[in-house]
Amino acid sequence: MNNPNSPTLLVAAGKDKYGEHRGLGISTVTFKVTPQDSHDILVIENTFREKGGGPARHLHHNQDEWFYVVEGEFIFEVGEEKFRLAPGDSLLAPRKVPHVWAFAGGSAGGSVLITFTPAGKMEAFFREVTKANAMPPQDPELWRAHEMELLGPPLAV
């Protein structure tokens, strides 16, 4: 249990910092570190049950996005480069560079840790889009309101 007087934050495996459930249809998002805990970073874990899930092609105006694969395999496109990541691999998608990614498979599902720095409006984005328990809508205004540009559909896997 966390001591409210300590700057240390422990979030157990598979748990959300706030004890909340956030669904994206075929995956879940758990908050691990939020801007209130840190120097304006957001760390989430995105856990997949089904192959093929991932966001639409987009870019962040103000955030660098770092990915670390915990379980399963993921396909990424960052700019013009394509990557296949396995557990233990990590990748940085710099701000203002288009990127898209998808869960490509794994015997027990897939999980990726994602860090946004600075956090900007990303916590608010995930709170908003998980209300419907479906992948984020391809609504350009929703993405712009959270400092991103929607550039295309999700990857087909």
For the chain, the domain total comes to: 1
Half-sphere exposure of 71 (CA within 13 A, CB side): 14
Nearest to 53 by CA among 75, 86, 79: 75
Stated pTM of the model: 0.92
Report pLDDT for 2: 54
Q: Which residues contact 50 (CB under 8 A, 6 or more apart)?
A: 26, 27, 103
Predicted confidence at residue 84, as pLDDT, reads 97
Instruction: Give the confidence band of 4 by pLDDT, cuts at 50, 70, 90.
Output: low
Q: Write out the residue range of the structural domain in which residue 35 sits.
A: 27-147
| CATH code of the domain containing 90 | 2.60.120.10
Tell me whether residue 10 is in a domain.
no
